[in-house]
Chains A and B, each alone.
Chain A
Amino acid sequence: AQSVTQLGSHVSVSEGALVLLRCNYSSSVPPYLFWYVQYPNQGLQLLLKYTSAATLVKGINGFEAEFKKSETSFHLTKPSAHMSDAAEYFCAVSTIIQGAQKLVFGQGTRLTINP
């Protein structure tokens, strides 16, 4: 079964510092991978997705992620953190079950930005 593991339930960085949120996946087939962001009391917003077109994927708000097959990783980065980046971040892998496209999410990483 396909799954993702997010390393670190809480990450805290200073404003202007590098953001690195870790995601490792388990999949028996080439995966489709997603990063979503969730602000307090809101739904999920897509940051970026990997669909095998390019290993380095650029998303919204200055975020990007690199797919590394050898490490089964899809870590999310941003060169310089902004206060508005404070939110919960979820990594997900897409899987087909009974004909349905199902997203399997990690437990999430809460990002805190210190002024």
Chain B
Amino acid sequence: ETGVTQSPTHLIKTRGQQVTLRCSSQSGHNTVSWYQQALGQGPQFIFQYYREEENGRGNFPPRFSGLQFPNYSSELNVNALELDDSALYLCASSKGLAGGDTQYFGPGTRLTVL
């Protein structure tokens, strides 16, 4: 069983640029969630995708957007990058939307904005 994978591992961008991060969900999972983890902090929920639709969003501006594809893989797009966007971006997949469902995390993409 293949786990959650993310690409790229590391990324360096400059302020104002746009970035796309990718995530492949675990086999059998139809739900993908994205989290931002700033240095020294716990992960913060960005949004969740279920069957190709965004079905919940945290306190992040519209310049954070995403997609989910028919194979349940997902992309996170961030426009107009700001210095504070520097963080580890984590993708997690799960089997559904129930409160007790386990979210399985990928290794993350480390984004640095200069």
A binding-site residues for B, Cβ under 8 Å: 32, 34, 36, 41-46, 49, 51, 90, 92, 94-108
- Per the CB 8 Å criterion, the residue count for chain B at the interface is 35
Among B31, B56, B99, the most chain A Cβ lie within 10 Å of the Cβ of: B99
B binding-site residues for A, Cβ under 8 Å: 4, 6, 31, 33, 35, 40-45, 47-48, 50, 55-58, 90, 92, 94, 96-108, 110
A103 with B56, Cβ < 8 A, contacts A43-B90, A44-B43, A44-B90 known = no
Among A90, A94, A106, the most chain B Cβ lie within 10 Å of the Cβ of: A94
Are A101 and B97 touching (Cβ within 8 A)? yes
Are B94 and A102 touching (Cβ within 8 A)? no
Are B102 and A49 touching (Cβ within 8 A)? yes
7 contacts between A and B (CB under 8 A): A44-B92, A97-B56, A99-B56, A100-B97, A101-B94, A101-B99, A103-B103
For the complex, give the distance between the alpha carbons of A94 and B103 in Å.
10
Are B101 and A101 touching (Cβ within 8 A)? yes
Nearest-Cβ distance from residue A111 to partner chain B, whole angstroms? 15
Chain A hits for B41, CB < 8 A: 107-108
Are A46 and B42 touching (Cβ within 8 A)? no
Chain A hits for B33, CB < 8 A: 100-103
A43 with B103, Cβ < 8 A, contacts A100-B48, A101-B97, A102-B33 known = no
From A41, A43, A102, contact of B58 by CB (8 A): A102
Are A32 and B99 touching (Cβ within 8 A)? yes
The chain B residue with its CB closest to the CB of A101 is B97
Chain B hits for A36, CB < 8 A: 105
A32 with B100, Cβ < 8 A, contacts A100-B50, A100-B56 known = yes
